[in-house]
Amino acid sequence: MPLQTVEPQRLYRKIAEQLRTLMASGEFAVGSRLPAERDLALQLGVSRPSVREALIALEVEGMIEVRTGSGIYVQSLKQTKRAIASPQTNAPTDWGPLEVMSARILVESEVAALAATHAQKKDIQAIRAGLKTMKQEAARDEMPRWGDEAFHEAIAQSCGNSALIDTVQRFWQARNGPLSERLGDYFEHPQSWQAAIAEHESVLSAIEAHDPSAARKAMQKHLRQAHKRYSASWRRAPAR
């Protein structure tokens, strides 16, 4: 039999598979509460963000239920809802959302600095339009998803580097995945929207001033704060 290609597997998938095995073996019965996220991270020797991504994957599959203010409970020993992308794919929708956010901090901060150097009047107008759409969406009590994407897309388009434009677009493809959507369900709310809008305003001001250093710092601050919001305690998530 010829050797088969060995496919790398994302860390959160490996964690999820361990938890599935423990549930199947009876270690965690249906209705029982899993250890706290912090304790799972210590026992597995991984980061809390990776554990969170694994738990979100299991919830998307219908195997666990997150009860804000109470804990994480085993709901089923079999996958009952939609599966995440195949382990053999490298689709952005399969990327871990917190891992994506960490990558965005590195990449998009430099994209913003380049935009501050290269942006022309039409580019700044497009960035401003994205921010305006965010505010309109938030005013309608909607997640400012499309304005947010338009804002970051416009910054990327003005940076002058097609490879970076493509990279930022793939980040946003990842935002359309089931893991990112479910995580947003917990930690996106009107207060977080207003915080994000204020952070976007700082980025825009720095780009308008053609100040690369300030644009870099403003984007780093925004994305670090976003990562922090998505990493908050489950107890701080609004009750559903």
What is the spatial distance between Cα 110 and Cα 172, in angstroms, rounded to a whole number? 17
Q: Does domain 11-74 have CATH number 1.10.10.10?
A: yes
The architecture (CATH level 2) of 92-236 comes to: Up-down Bundle (1.20)
Ordered DSSP codes for 23-41: HHTTSS-TTPBPPPHHHHH
pLDDT of 240 > 90? The answer is: no
Q: Determine what percent of the chain is predicted with pLDDT higher than 90.
A: 62
pTM summary value:
0.84
Q: How confident is the model at residue 90 (pLDDT cuts 50, 70, 90)?
A: low
Q: In this predicted model, what pLDDT tens digit does every residue of 107-136 receive, in sequence order? A: 999 999 999 999 999 999 999 999 999 999
Cβ partners under 8 Å of residue 172, min gap 6 = 149, 152, 153
Q: Residue 91: its pLDDT value, please? A: 76
Higher per-residue pLDDT: 190 or 232: 190
What value does the mean pLDDT take over residues 182-210?
94
- Domains of the chain by residue range: 11-74, 92-236
Q: In this predicted model, what pLDDT tens digit does every residue of 130-181 receive, in sequence order? A: 999 999 999 999 999 999 999 999 999 999 999 999 999 999 999 888 888 8
